[in-house]
Amino acid sequence: MPDNDIILNNYVSLGHLNEEIVALWAVTIIGNLEIVLTTPQRLHFIEKHPDIASFESWLSLVVVDPDEVHKDKFDPEVAIFYRSIERNGKIKYYHVAVAMQIYPNAKKHSVLSFRFTQFREIRKGRNEERKVWEKK
């Protein structure tokens, strides 16, 4: 993650989302791939999920190179990015909720939350047919 001086300036860019994923929500892809993390949302996930704070450096990888993406069951404008990462011989599953933008604007695609999850959550999303994209 970037140093705290950068993140305190309201947001930090995490990179660019996969065009195929953005196309599932957006009308316009050109100029509409950047994903950001705002300071309030960073503080939110650190407060609500303090166990994830030491894994914050993985956030960019989860959204830029996810294993799969699901539609949120409550909000059609939210994508759930999942990624499994092996660390120290153990697999951890990451969940990142992202507010997707239909058109490019100042808000960008924005991280809403970041937390650990269990594989059963991913399987449930698959069973409910919310999976919309999978890494090939």
Q: Is the pLDDT of residue 101 over 70?
A: yes
Length of the chain: 136
pTM of this structure:
0.90
* 16-20, 86-90, 117-121, 123-127: range with lowest mean pLDDT: 86-90
Where helices occur in the chain by DSSP H, the ranges are 4-7, 19-23, 39-48, 59-64, 119-127
Query: What's the token pair of residue 37?
Result: 């993390």
CA distance 122 to 106: 31
Q: What pLDDT score was predicted for residue 105?
A: 86
The yes-or-no verdict on residue 44 having pLDDT over 70 is yes
pLDDT at 9: 57
Residue 84's nearest CA partner among 51, 123, 113, 47 is: 123
Output the pLDDT for position 2. 44
